[in-house]
Structure 1
Amino acid sequence: MNEKAITAVATSIRSLSMDAIQKANSGHPGTPLGAAEVAAVLYGEILKHNPADSKWADRDRFVLSAGHGSMLLYSILHLSGYKVTLDDIKSFRQVGSNCPGHPEYGMTDGVECTAGPLGQGVSMAVGMALAESMLAARFNTANHKIVNHYTYSLVGEGCLEEGVSSEACSLAGTLKLGKLIVFYDENRISIDGSTDITFSEDIAKRYEAYGWQVLKGSMYKPAEILKLTEKAKKCTDKPTLIMLKSVIGYSAPKAGTADVHGAALGAEGVKAAKKFLGLPEDKDFTVLPEAYEYFNSKKASFAAAEEAWNEEFDAWSKENPKLRAEWDAYFSDSETAEVPDVEFSATDKMATRAAGGKVLNMMAQRYGNLTGGSADLAGPNKTELKDCGGIYSPANRTGRTIEFGIREFAMSAVCSGMRLHGGLRPFCATFLVFADYLRPQ
């Protein structure tokens, strides 16, 4: 790893972020200034991705769960070669901008999901990791692994305080989603001050109790971040939380305080931060040449990774024409079997939930990518899928009935992540009185 280049990328992330937020006079500089290194290492050295094709099916996924720090994501997307221009960054938070205040799915190239409400991003990442495992079990063969990628997420203090992340991460541990790796930007600051006010539990022990592997390091040691990620990948039966000690708003005059979380630094603050970083104080939106050069040197290897997968996919398709047809149906939401409609008459005496269960099972037979379940209510909700592989579990990744447990909010977020991943059509169910638990998602 070229640590000098990674440092140039991290410095450029800070430069673009502070200037975009200052120009907009709105935004959250704390996260991009404090966590620039993990973004630089992730997009430069860790992710399997090709910025020239953000929809590559077997790309690694990254979810910025701390979506208020959106300039971190926009900056690294620009630097690494996604369709985010410098002019886009200069129009941060403006009407019609390609860089809105929070990442918006379908608006900005390279953004995997809409993130902002804390805890929901990492919960959707759980769904993406679940989808990867399910599709891998369905389509991989002894000769070819065409589904083989990781899901990463960056969380902050707020994400880990929200209940939805607790629900989802508990489920991820139970399901042994070993290809889920979450980075924790551990700065111990929130809007009202130190998190000691409200947040005193031992996070490492909590996640270990969930069934996760927990690793610890520093945000400001790129080689250590890479080494910890490599260790995380070796743990195949547990998701991993990598706790990275950091300083919110690193380089700014008010670094380490709540004041730097959610407001522009001010002209003097920006000037002081640039001086600290060795950037020209009288120039805005500086990108160090080494940062562009680094990612330009990566273009060929990024493209080669996708090309190698395309060759693998073509070979798999020739060997498995029926599976290929099924793959195409999964990713286009097309029928995989001709199944007649369920019919009812006006004289049928049947509870609506029972009728719904019959229709659901008919649809599951017609569409092979239909999967899902309920929040510990499979019996009352009639959501168990018959003859569809049984219950999804660590021992049975092909099962299409998912037991979400009593986790309504996480259930909805996980299903959203599964859908955003692609290839699956998830559903979830609960009693109507619990519907408001799902509504935020």
Structure 2
Amino acid sequence: MNATATAPAALDQLCINTIRTLSMEAVQRANSGHPGTPMALAPLGHRLFTRHLRHDPAAPEWADRDRFVLSCGHASMLLYSLLHLSGYDLSLDDLKNFRQLNSPTAGHPERGEVPGVEFTTGPLGQGVSSAVGMALAERMLAARFNRDGHDVVNHRTWVIASDGDLMEGVSSESASLAAHLGLGRLTVFWDDNKITIDGTTAISFTEDVGARYASYGWQVLHINDVEDLEAIDEVVAQAKADDRPTLVVTRTHIGIGSPLQDTSKAHGAPLGAENIRTTKRGWGWPEDSEFLVPDEVREEYAVVAEEGAADNAGWTARFDTYRAAYPELAREFERQLRGELPSGWADDLVATSFEGSGELATRQTSGQAIELLAARVPELIGGSADLAESNLTHIPNTSNVEAGSYEGRTLNFGIREHAMAAIVNGVHAHGGLRAFGATFLIFSDYMRPAVRLSALMGLPSIWVYTHDSIFVGEDGPTHQPIEQLASLRAIPNLVVLRPAEANETLAAWKLALEQTDRPVALALTRQKLQPFQYGGGSVLQGAQVDKGAYVLREASGGTPEVIIVATGSEVHLAL
């Protein structure tokens, strides 16, 4: 769209300048940070939070809230300012302590530290890609629980992304899949400020981004001047009216109003005290004030909290009506959102033993575990990066998830390992589903940034890695995982399980589903391995695997001369 810019109303401008001054001053006080982008994006953030985002600051976990992701996490002061003004549990003192030790207002937003932060962002490309998972989760839950006249799942996902986000390969992978899956409730505002740390985007980023996204199948809209609040309203209306995901090319000016406007110097360092005074003077802002929030701005944003509470109350009333009509569905919906597993979910696993059976690859047993779990855990979904036949990750007796048909449980991620991991993280950040992503262990390297984020956020994502060990010999060294296990084990809060045979594989899957605040990586073999004989009861019933390590064979003489420690298929060599 091409709209003529109009000056925002005086109150809107006051709100926008409040966000800008808070951002400048917090970065200046911290003596580090990124002031220019929050200043540039202030009109967009203000308009979204006051007019378009469905959220209740008093209930940040409201199930049917819109999800907002600031993918360019370096612009964190934009989000912190908006959350503070809107009435989330974030004080002005927290803003003053931006980027300080033990402060919730970290340099990049961290999920779990500040109410209203949906996802930890900072590594560029991760937020916008994980938002695809959030939008997908919304559609899948809607397909499962909505009934005629009862839309209990009915929200949207909004993203603000930077040039850097869209340069990263993971965003291209996820954008392609988002369009393929028809995720029309996803809207991404691209902050087109034409500045990077090293200079203007002309030095490295000259493609037609809109044309690229249009080729994926996105609706592409334009805001020629982010100061035009009516233009923001218009593109939001157009985004809601289309069944495609929407990219909004949003022209902004980094460090707007300051002497450093439109330069890389406004990006990643404080503006400087004198430049801040000059900027305030240009806005008619009290030059000697610090962290000033005018009463009129407080009053304007108080309306946001009131409207959010009313939206939440209206949804709660509708859900009560839904509960009366569909009590079992309502109970199931609430259980899944709480992250509680259904009663008896592991019974089939515990009742299964492979003692005395023939050789089985642990990937085969993993496939059987998925089948047993899927029958009892309806929220379990997942898929592979185009290796389902090799990973053995098909969920039986269910359909594939496709555009317009979200009832299925098997996801076809295509050859997009990095996007797969980010999307699985987004599904878990949304809530209500448990998801896994699968590929060969060697290709875990393609996923590492997203896997690390899952551990950092404490998301219970499940990573299924098959074709462990050098027994993938025919494929050559490019497909033989050597350093990958050490690399995964080095990630704090990531549980790495490398079962040695079939019974341990079942136990590993049980452990994986039991996690609520950390991800699990399963390393599984292609080659067949003989199940162990435990002498009564499966390894699950003996509760050995959950100890992390246990004695499989004692020294024949009673006192060992040497202790051999092994994992996975090497246990058989050790024996």
Q: Is TM more than 0.5 here?
A: yes
Which residue identity does 1:371 align to in structure 2? I
2:41 is the alignment partner of 1:35: yes
2:348 is the alignment partner of 1:340: yes
Question: Could you tell me how far 1:346 is from its partner in structure 2?
Answer: 4.9
Which residue identity does 1:89 align to in structure 2? L
2:250 is the alignment partner of 1:241: no
Separation (CA, whole Å) in 2 of partners of 1:3 and 1:167: 40
Separation (CA, whole Å) in 2 of partners of 1:48 and 1:221: 21
Paired residues of 2:8 and 2:227 also in contact (CA < 8 A): no
Separation (CA, whole Å) in 2 of partners of 1:52 and 1:8: 24
Question: Could you tell me how far 1:316 is from its partner in structure 2?
Answer: 0.5
Identity of aligned residues (%): 47
**CA-to-partner distance for each residue in 1:368-403, whole Å, 9 max, x for gaps?**
11111010011100011001x310001320110000
- Count residues in correspondence: 439
- The counterpart of 1:98, out of the listed 104, 108, 118, is 104
- The counterpart of 1:377, out of the listed 387, 400, 407, is 387
Question: Could you tell me how far 1:336 is from its partner in structure 2?
Answer: 6.4
For 1:404, the equivalent position in structure 2 comes to: 413
Separation (CA, whole Å) in 1 of partners of 2:371 and 2:9: 54
Question: Could you tell me how far 1:329 is from its partner in structure 2?
Answer: 2.7
For 1:222, the equivalent position in structure 2 comes to: 229
Separation (CA, whole Å) in 1 of partners of 2:103 and 2:47: 27
- The counterpart of 2:360, out of the listed 344, 350, 372, is 350
**CA-to-partner distance for each residue in 1:29-74, whole Å, 9 max, x for gaps?**
1110111011000100000111111110000000000000100000
Separation (CA, whole Å) in 2 of partners of 1:169 and 1:13: 30
2:294 is the alignment partner of 1:288: yes
Larger radius of gyration: 2
Paired residues of 1:336 and 1:368 also in contact (CA < 8 A): no
Paired residues of 1:21 and 1:29 also in contact (CA < 8 A): yes
Separation (CA, whole Å) in 2 of partners of 1:353 and 1:304: 50
For 1:113, the equivalent position in structure 2 comes to: 119
Paired residues of 1:65 and 1:155 also in contact (CA < 8 A): yes
- The counterpart of 1:71, out of the listed 72, 77, 88, is 77
Question: Could you tell me how far 1:300 is from its partner in structure 2?
Answer: 2.5
Question: Could you tell me how far 1:337 is from its partner in structure 2?
Answer: 6.4
For 2:312, the equivalent position in structure 1 comes to: 306
Question: Could you tell me how far 1:3 is from its partner in structure 2?
Answer: 3.5
**RMSD between aligned residues:** 1.4
Separation (CA, whole Å) in 2 of partners of 1:94 and 1:24: 7
Separation (CA, whole Å) in 2 of partners of 1:403 and 1:336: 29
Q: Using CA pairs below 8 Å that are at least 6 residues apart, which structure has the higher relative contact order?
A: 1
Paired residues of 1:329 and 1:336 also in contact (CA < 8 A): no
Which residue identity does 1:203 align to in structure 2? V
Structure 2 residues without counterparts, runs of 5 or longer: 1-6, 451-575
- The counterpart of 1:257, out of the listed 263, 268, 291, is 263
**More displaced 10-residue stretch of structure 1: 294-303 or 189-198:** 294-303
Q: What secondary structure is seen at the aligned counterpart in 2 of 1:123? A: helix
Paired residues of 2:8 and 2:229 also in contact (CA < 8 A): no
For 2:429, the equivalent position in structure 1 comes to: 420
Which residue identity does 2:361 align to in structure 1? A
For 2:496, the equivalent position in structure 1 comes to: none
Question: Could you tell me how far 1:351 is from its partner in structure 2?
Answer: 1.7
2:28 is the alignment partner of 1:22: yes
Structure 1 residues without counterparts, runs of 5 or longer: none
Separation (CA, whole Å) in 1 of partners of 2:161 and 2:140: 25
